[in-house]
Amino acid sequence: MVFSSTLCYGCLGMALLEIYKVKIIIDTREQLPLDFSFCENVTETIRTALPVGDYSCEFKNGYVPLVVFERKSIPDLFGTLSQDYPRFKKELERAQEAGIKVILIIEGTLADVQLGTMHSNRDGLSVAKQMFTMWIKYDVMPVFCFDRNEMTNYIIHYYSAIGRKAVADMKGKQ
């Protein structure tokens, strides 16, 4: 998997709407992958080892945006920001060095996080504060989703917005 920061302009002969067609790339370590089967602009999902994050995409023209999603359930979030934080911090630093934006997509609301989780010594407020500090320090924006379906929709809408911008940029270069 190679992330690309430039668009392939050799595809301008292709219908511009084709850029909206995406392949969703799911990290092999992702234990409960989201379901993209109902998304009409997703051509396929593949599992491969991603250097950072759980989800990425590749547009029909080969463009891979420098944006990945790191999916977390509430208990997973607490574990990652507690005992697994040194490993996660190194992953975020690698992403920064590579110019990759990481979006932390959470299966639950901010209120759910603040309530805490049963099997953690951390209180919810301290985890919420840590997430927002990570946003400022590492540009890792937390996104709170009601359920897995909303997570899937968020990811697709985000990547579709990148596709729309790419189409607009291509039209501007013609």
Domains and CATH numbers, the chain: 19-169 (3.40.50.10130)
Tell me what the mean pLDDT of segment 101-126 comes to. Answer: 94
Region 7-36 average pLDDT: 71
Return the pLDDT at 174.
59
Task: Give me the mean pLDDT over the 41-63 stretch.
Answer: 93
Q: Does residue 44 carry a pLDDT above 60?
A: yes
Among candidate residues 168, 172, 148, 162, the one with its CA nearest the CA of residue 21 = 162
pLDDT band at 12 (very low <50, low <70, confident <90, very high): very low
Give the pLDDT confidence score for residue 83 in this predicted structure: 92
pLDDT band, very low/low/confident/very high, at 120 (cuts 50, 70, 90)? confident
End-to-end CA distance of the chain: 29
